[in-house]
Each structure stands twice: as C-alpha cells, then as structure tokens.
Amino acid sequence: MSSESKFRPKMLGIICNWCCYGGADLCGVSRFQYPTYIRLIRVMCSGRVDMKHILFAFLNGADGIFVGGCHINDCHYNPEGNYDALSMYNFCKKLLEHVGINPKRLRLEWVSAGEGIRFANIMNEFSREIEELGPLGRIEGLDENELKTRLKNIIKLVPYFKLVKMKELAIHNPDEEVYKKLYTSEDIDRLIKEAPSYYIDPKRCQACMTCARRCPASAIISEKNKIHIIDQDKCIRCGTCYDACPPKFGAVTKIVGAPVPPPIPDDQRTIIRKTG
Ligand code: SF4
Ligand code: SF4
C-alpha cells in the first residue's frame, strides 16, 4: 500500500438540522457507506455557518470542510439562511485562495432529507478529492507555521469583511451564478490591502472614555485618568472610536498600509491633571 493511500484526511461536515442532517440520517439507516473520518456537526441552519468557523477549522488542522443545507427555496427559516450560506461560501473560497489554500478543500451542497444516497455520494466523492489533495498545506507548498500565520491574520479581518461587504453578503438571488461573480480575487486583495487599523495617540488622549463607551467590541482598554489603548486583537475595525473621539482631542488615528505603533507601557498611562 502506498503512503499516499494511507492518508486519512481530517474532514468536517457542518450540516443543517432540517434537510442535510435528515439526508445524513437516511444515509445511515439505509446503510449507505462513506468514510468514517468525516465528522459531522449539526447546526439549525446552514446560514449559521460563519467564515470564522471555516477558517478556524482549517487553522485547527481540517483537510477538507463540507457545508450542507436545504435546497434553495426549501430553507425552513425566513429569510432563507441557505442564501447566506451560499454567499459566505463564495466569499470564503476567495479568502482561501488569498491565503494560499486550495479552495476545493471547501465544498457546499444542498441535500434534502430524502436524499440519503446523494449524501453518501457527495461524501465519497469529496473525501476522494481531499485524499488526492493530501494533507492541508502539502499541495499548497505551505509549511504549517506559515499556513497558521496566514490563517490567523485573515481570521482577524473577518468582522471587517462582514462590515464592508454587508450588502453583498445579504443578497438573496435564486441564480447561484450571481454569488460566484460577486467577489473577485482583485476585490479581496484590495479589501485586505485597504483594511484600516485604529490607534490612540497617547499624546492626545484625555481619557474622556467616550470611545470606550461606544466601542461595540469592548476593544478599548479604558480606565479613568488613564490613556486609553486599543486591543488590536479584539478590534473589529469599525471606525466608531475614530468618529466618536471629540475633535478637540482628535486622539484616534486611522492607519492603512503601515504597522500600528506598540501600545504605551502601563506605567506611563496615568494622566496628571493640572488643578487650580
Ligand atoms: S475601531 Fe471599532 S472595534 Fe476597533 S477600537 Fe475602535 S470602536 Fe472599537
Ligand atoms: S475619545 Fe479620544 S480622548 Fe477620549 S478616551 Fe477615547 S481616544 Fe482618548
């Protein structure tokens, strides 16, 4: 037996409760076979599957990820979540391309509760494809550390992508081709290049706490009479603090295409106010 044929991929299937899980169940009771290394997670709707779920699964070593939902216009919720899944999936494929991961490692299909044999066929076909691609990173020519660094960096940008692409991600169109054309590689490259970071200038901050109160991500380390600091790992790049900081202070700066200065040390954060 060749070493290639011994490869057992780590594969994840995230499938909706109402249709695809029913199909998987029927597949099981009908004794249709598919590889046991595919682990299934049931969610109430394919629309619940987030870009972060996909990217974190790859970060944690998945070689292939399957997302399964109800056929278009059969979603059990209103508005239909499978359109959201379709949009997320097409966007995510482009992100994978940008990271350097073969987008074939992510697959989305619609499976009804009566399609047990179809579920088995898809699982068998997809697992064969992933076996051929080999372990994550090998065909891509990326070592584990490089791959993880790239994935971590892109995961940090997911909230920003969702904010900037809110309208496109919410499009519901019965023509699936529309979603494939919605996000281009150039679009994704530009988005990443233009991603802003926000920084509080310690020389200007007056610890008025306005920004911290308005930050939707609790990303501002805030204390009375202490210069505020943005936690870059928590920041979702919404720009609220930039808009909220009173013009007379103008302490929040927007940075594009350059590194964010390191935060001021804690023992230098106290603001001594003049009295009298
Ligand atoms: S950009 Fe948004 S998330 Fe980031 S610190 Fe400012 S308000 Fe918070
Ligand atoms: S709003 Fe501006 S001055 Fe006030 S705490 Fe935030 S950064 Fe500092």
More confident residue, 157 or 179: 157
Q: Which atom of ligand 1 is least distant from the CA of 242?
A: 6
pLDDT mean across residues, the chain: 94
Nearest CA to ligand 1 atom 8: 215
| Amino acid, single-letter form, for residue 24 | A
The DSSP-derived string for 28-60 is HHTT----TTEEEEEES-GGG--HHHHHHHHHT
112-145 confidence digits (pLDDT tens): 999 999 999 999 999 999 999 999 999 999 999 9
Q: What pLDDT digit, counting tens, does each position of 226-240 carry?
A: 999 999 999 999 999
Q: Identify which ligand lies nearest to the alpha carbon of 241.
A: 1
Can you give the pLDDT at residue 77?
86
pLDDT tens per residue across span 8-67: 999 999 999 999 999 999 999 999 999 999 999 999 999 999 999 999 999 999 999 999
The answer, yes or no, to whether any atom of ligand 1 lies below 6 A from the CB of 240, is yes
The structure's pTM equals 0.90
State the burial class of residue 174 (Cβ atoms within 10 Å of its Cβ: 0-12, 13-18, 19+): exposed
Structure confidence at residue 275 (pLDDT):
67
User: Of the ligands numbered here, which is closest to the C-alpha atom of 222?
Assistant: 2
Is the minimum distance from the CB of 249 to ligand 2 under 6 angstroms? yes
CB 234 within 8 A of CB 249: no
pLDDT, tens digit (0-9, with 9 covering 90-100), for 166-183: 999 999 988 888 988 889
Ligand nearest to the CA of 246: 2
- With bands split at pLDDT 50, 70 and 90, how would you rate the model's confidence at 5? low
- Please determine, for residue 84, whether its predicted confidence score (pLDDT) is greater than 90: yes
> Two tokens at 210?
């306005």
User: Is the pLDDT reported for residue 157 higher than 60?
Assistant: yes
Delineate the domains of the chain, giving CATH numbers in brackets.
Answer: 11-191 (no CATH), 196-268 (3.30.70.20)
Using alpha carbons, list the distances in angstroms from residue 180 to 126, 129, 184: 20, 21, 8
pLDDT score recorded for residue 259: 93
Pocket test for ligand 2, best of 228, 242, 248, 273 (most atoms within 8 A of CB): 228
Q: Whose CA is nearest to atom 4 of ligand 2?
A: 208
H-state helical runs in the chain: 20-29, 51-59, 81-99, 116-133, 144-156, 158-164, 166-169, 176-182, 185-193, 210-214, 240-244
Q: What is the 3-state secondary structure (H, E, C) of 188-228?
A: HHHHHHCCEEEEECCCCCCCCCHHHHHCCCCCEEEECCEEE
Among 241, 242, 245, say which to mutate for ligand 1: greatest number of ligand atoms within 8 Å of CB: 241
pLDDT at residue 78, rounded to an integer: 80
Ligand 1 contact via 236 beta carbon (within 6 Å): yes
Q: How far apart are CA 226 and CA 116, in angstroms?
A: 61
pLDDT in tens, 199-255: 999 999 999 999 999 999 999 999 999 999 999 999 999 999 999 999 999 999 999
Instruction: Using most ligand atoms within 8 A of CB, pick from 230, 233, 245, 260 the residue to mutate for ligand 1.
Output: 230
Q: In this structure, are residues 19 and 71 in contact, taking their beta carbons and an 8 Å threshold?
A: yes
pLDDT at 4 over 60: no
Quote the pLDDT of residue 1: 46
Check if 200 has its Cβ closer than 6 Å to any atom of ligand 2: yes
Closest CA to ligand 1's atom 6:
241
| Residue 162 alpha carbon to ligand 1 centre in Å | 15
pLDDT at residue 276 in the model: 54
Question: What separation in Å is there between the alpha carbon of 197 and the centre of ligand 2?
Answer: 16
Give me the residues paired with residue 67 across strands.
14, 108
Residue appearing with tokens 């991500």: 217
Ligand 2 pocket check for 205: Cβ under 6 Å: yes
Q: How far is 73 from 198, CA to CA, in rounded Å? A: 41
Burial group, residue 19, by CB count within 10 angstroms (0-12, 13-18, 19+): buried
Token pair, residue 216, equals 């939707």
Strand pairing category for 220-223 and 226-230? antiparallel
